[in-house]
Structure 1
Amino acid sequence: MSCSLDDKPIDVADILNRLKKLSAAEEFFVTLGVSFDPKILSVARLHIMKRMGEYLKTEDFDGLPDSIVAARAKATLQRAYTDFENSSPLRQRVFQVLKDHDPDRPVPPKTAFVALDDILAPLPKG
C-alpha cells in the first residue's frame, strides 16, 4: 500500500508557518505532497522527521517566495524518506543514542586506576 499524492498540487501559501504547526509525520507528507508507504512510515517516522530537520538546517529560506520554500521543503522530506526506503533506523543512526551504540565502532575498553597506596591505606574511623 502506498499513499500517493502526486496528482494533487500542494498549497504553498505561508508554507513555513503551516509546517511549524504540524505534528504528525503524515501531516508533513500530505501538506508537502510527498508519497509514502505507511509501513515504512510506521517504523521510521521519528527518524525520517529528524533527518528532514537535519537537512532543513542547511537551508536558508529568508526572503524566498513560498513556492521555492515549498519545493525545497518537499525535496528535503523526499530525501529524508528515501534514506529509509531501503535502509533501517539502525543503519542510518540518526539519533545520538544509536550513534553512541554503533556495533561497527567498538568502544575502547575503559580502565579504572586505583593507586596501591589507596588500597593499602587504613580505613578511616568513623
Structure 2
Amino acid sequence: MSCSADGRPIDVTEILARLKRLSAAEEFFAVLGVSYDPKVLNVSRLHIMKRMGQYLAQEDFSGLPDPVIAARVRATLQRAYEEFAISSPLTHRVFKVLKDHNPDKPATPGCTFVPFDSVLKRFGKE
C-alpha cells in the first residue's frame, strides 16, 4: 500500500494491469490517489492523459516491485496534471493539430481543400 495526496492508502497491487483497464481520466486520478481540480480536468483531460502517456513511454518498469511502479506512475500523472493546471493546452501543444497551429497566421475561412480522390484512396485500400 501507498498513500494518496489526502493520506488515504492506495492499492498498488498489479497497478499497471489495473490502469490499462481504465478509460476515464477521473478513474486514473482516483486509482492513483492524485487530487485534481475538476475545472482543470474538464478543459485539459485529453492533454493531461496524452502527456502522461508520453512520460510513461520513457519509463522501464521491468522487474520493479508494484509499490515503486505505483509511485512512479503517480508522480507522472501529477507532473502531467501540474503542467496543464498552470498553463493552457495551446502552450504545450501535445497534439499534432496544436503543433501545426500557428496563432500568428489565422486560417482563411473557406479555403481548406481536401482532394476528393485522396479520400477515396483510403477507402479503396480496405
Name the TM-score class by shorter chain.
Answer: 0.7 to 0.9
Aligned to 1:37: 37
Shift of 1:91: 1.1
Map 1:21-32 → 2, pairs under 5 A: 21-32=21-32
CA RMSD of aligned residues (A): 1.8
Shift of 1:59: 0.4
The alignment-based identity, stated in percent, is 70
Letter in 1 for 2:101: H
User: Aligned residue pairs: how many?
Assistant: 103
Structure 1 gaps, min length 5: 106-126
Shift of 1:104: 5.9
Letter in 2 for 1:90: L
What is the TM-score normalised by the length of structure 1? 0.77
Shift of 1:71: 0.2
Letter in 1 for 2:28: F
Q: Deviations over 1:14-51 (max 9, x none)?
A: 10000000000000000001000000000000000000
Shift of 1:92: 1.2
Letter in 2 for 1:74: R
Map 1:9-28 → 2, pairs under 5 A: 9-28=9-28
Q: Deviations over 1:46-66 (max 9, x none)?
A: 000000000001100011000
Equivalent-residue separation in structure 2 for 1:5 and 1:71 (angstroms): 12
What is the TM-score normalised by the length of structure 2? 0.77
The 8 Å contact of residues 5 and 30 in structure 1, kept in 2 or not, is answered as no
SS in 1 for 2:10: coil
Greater helix content: 2
The 8 Å contact of residues 61 and 69 in structure 1, kept in 2 or not, is answered as yes
- Which consecutive segments of 4 or more residues in structure 1 shift more than 4 A? none
